[in-house]
Structure 1
Amino acid sequence: MVGSRCVLAMSGLGLDLCSPIRNPTISAHLDSSSCNTRNVSCKYSVAPQKQPSNTVDDGKNESSGFSPMSIGSAAVNALFSYEPFFKFAAGQARSMIIERGTEIGHPWAPELAKLRTHDWSEELKKAQNKQVEYPSYYLKPFHAYEYGNLSWDAAWEVELAAKSVHANIFDPEKQKLDPNGDAELRNSYHRTMVPMLKTTPHAIVDLGCATGLSTYGLHEVFPNALTVGVDLSPYFISVANFRQKQRSPSKSVQFLHGAAEYTGLPSGAYDLVSLCLVCHELPRTATKQIIEEAHRLLKPGGALAIMEMNPYSPLLQKMVTNIFAFTAFKATEPYFDDYRTFGIERAIEERGFSFPTQTECSPRHRTIVAHKK
């Protein structure tokens, strides 16, 4: 939720992370004064919301069939309806990710110790838009965090988690762990995306930017463009602003606390809207609304670019039919079923974009580009 999302997932199974961006339909205002930066416990006001459907848009409801994929998915979903099992599986997934970080030369403890010395309460006050509302599903445990992306732990750990979970992304046999795997995945997204663009963008929106990894990646590719990163977690945006101070600050990179479905940014003002590892962490209802918002933000001819897990990948299809692998995956990716059975290409075209062009950017990922008509 990468996106709005620290996002944890098990890389050994080809799983991913990103901060999710959610649909602002629920009143759930953070009170920064009630948040403890050591052991987060925030107060929320939450209205009820109907849970997203898992039906497939093309009418082919996966759950109605008896394929190995649907049977395995149903079995795993049943397991995760039992809360003690969910907590156990999430804890195991988190431990594996932390251990891998040490194995690839990025131990978590020293970096987290440094981050905890900073005065984060002031960063949160500056970053947070108290008018932002959160849907109920954004407030649930997510990616092995009790408070999901609305926590300091999630925000502090996102970059460490990215390096850990993507360490074997280009090695399907899992024989080699590459500490630069995450950077290579993002670079591959840019290499495959740029040739599909009609023009060089001068104004970019990065939806689900988390702490800014994807935003600065776009800035490096398009250094002369204004790039705005948007994320629903004020904790992520706080860390993004902090990281920006550590880098060479650039006025052409900005971060905004907000929802991707309604950013508040001006209509028809941008050449490129990017979503990097966001959609698989959302119910399809939210993804559709984000596509709608992207269409509003873009100039005619502007591009929507998405880097995501590829549901057509043999590796992912194999994982879904392996109940043990899929169980580990579901511990941190509760909306993956909804993503993999969602015809995102059709949804993009139906909103007024050209039919998307897509290409592989890793053995498990794809780059999708469509232009506003």
Structure 2
Amino acid sequence: MRLHYLQRSDPSQALESDSVMEAATIPGSLSPMSIATGAVNALFRFKPFFNFAASQAKSMIVKRGTEIGYPWAPELARLQLHDWPSELEAVQNQALTYPDYYLKPFHAYETGNLSWDAALEVELAAKSVHANVFDPERKKLDPNGDVRLRDGYHEKLLSMLKIRPTNILDIGCATGLSTFGLYEIFPGAQVVGVDLSPYFLSVANFWVKEKQSEEERIGAVEFLHAAGEDTGLPSGSLDLVSLSLVCHELPRSATKQIIEEAHRLLKQGGALAIMEMNPYSPLLQKMVNNIFAFTAFKSTEPYFDDYRTFCIEKAIEERGFQYPSQLECSPRHRTIVAHKK
């Protein structure tokens, strides 16, 4: 389904369009949404409450993973046998300084993405979290929900791209799920995955070796330990910059810096593509208005409020991209594509 209300057909209507979008997502000072949000945010500043909420969220993710046929214990036991310190040494950029926003708890992990627990469990967690993403009532679990979501992103991306990319950057690639996906839909392209976590990248390189042992040709995929805001890659060298489920994990200041970096890296006519939660979705707004669901979600996503109240389309256009095209790729997610002018 095309998100007509998110696209600008007449530039003269820009101010009205942007105002409507921001009004739809920024809570009013006396609205039930803002009261609930403020209460939850206040509670999360109380450490015991945060720890309790995070542990409950983690338990739910593990339980659901088992229910859909992805039990954590056997897979983790297999992965833990690997020589991870050597993988870390091979990929880690010792000179990298982590931004402050990255040194916070994420996804119910006290040390966030800078841990082996997070790196070894991220793909299992993705399958669990996305198991009900296509059910409006969030009750029916689909073991292939995560695959369907990513396939939906690729389908919508292909329909909106005006170019055939041969040099691609995947920002916030984690352990490479999104990176390998991009390589599959653009075979023969050079795909680089960038992430701030050397633990995630260690696992990504492990998957490269596993795929090569299974005789899959993925020689054109590589991983780089760097910040998405400052990759160090050459200007004007890329056809496509992709962010898959990254922006909701960032403060908007970092997202703006990444948009700036994407503009620098892309050739003229190149594309910035984003797959993310859709803050305009009635289903997502329903979750925000449910204090229990919102509390569970907030315990794992510290920057969600900043993301859902940020008009990212406007920021993309202001940096020198064409106004983004957008399509739904799930009842709760959207695909955004904008080409560099």
TM-score, reference length from structure 1:
0.83
One-letter identity of the residue aligned with 1:292: E
Q: 1:61/1:307 Cα in 2 relative to 1: closer, same or farther (>3 Å)?
A: closer
CA distance in 1, matches of 2:36, 2:247: 22
Structure-2 residue corresponding to 1:188: 152
Give 1:224's match in structure 2, choosing from 181, 184, 188: 188
Give the 3-state SS of the residue equivalent to 2:132 in structure 1.
Answer: coil
1:253 is aligned to 2:221: yes
The 5 Å alignment of 1:51-200 reads 62=26, 65-200=29-164
CA distance in 1, matches of 2:87, 2:25: 45
Q: Deviations over 1:15-59 (max 9, x none)?
A: xxxxxxxxxxxxxxxxxxxxxxxxxxxxxxxxxxxxxxxxxx979
Report deviation, 1:168: 1.0
Contact between 2:321 and 2:339, CA under 8 Å: does it hold in 1?
A: yes
Residues 317-326 or 104-113, more deviating: 317-326
Residues 314-323 or 245-254, more deviating: 245-254
CA distance in 1, matches of 2:279, 2:25: 16
CA distance in 2, matches of 1:61, 1:275: 21
Structure-1 residue corresponding to 2:241: 273
Report deviation, 1:61: 9.9
CA distance in 1, matches of 2:111, 2:220: 32
1:297 is aligned to 2:276: no
One-letter identity of the residue aligned with 2:255: T
Number of residue pairs matched by the alignment = 317
One-letter identity of the residue aligned with 1:229: G
Report deviation, 1:224: 1.4
Report deviation, 1:176: 2.1
The 5 Å alignment of 1:200-349 reads 200-248=164-212, 250-349=218-317
Contact between 1:63 and 1:74, CA under 8 Å: does it hold in 2?
A: no
Give the 3-state SS of the residue equivalent to 1:184 in structure 2.
Answer: helix
Question: Structure 2 unaligned runs (5+)?
Answer: 1-20
Q: Which has the higher helix share?
A: 2
CA distance in 1, matches of 2:270, 2:27: 37
TM-score, reference length from structure 2:
0.90
CA distance in 2, matches of 1:313, 1:199: 29
Q: Deviations over 1:343-369 (max 9, x none)?
A: 100000000000001011100000000
Contact between 2:247 and 2:307, CA under 8 Å: does it hold in 1?
A: yes
More contact order relative to length (CA 8 Å, sep ≥ 6):
1
One-letter identity of the residue aligned with 1:342: F
Q: 1:63/1:172 Cα in 2 relative to 1: closer, same or farther (>3 Å)?
A: closer
CA distance in 2, matches of 1:252, 1:114: 27
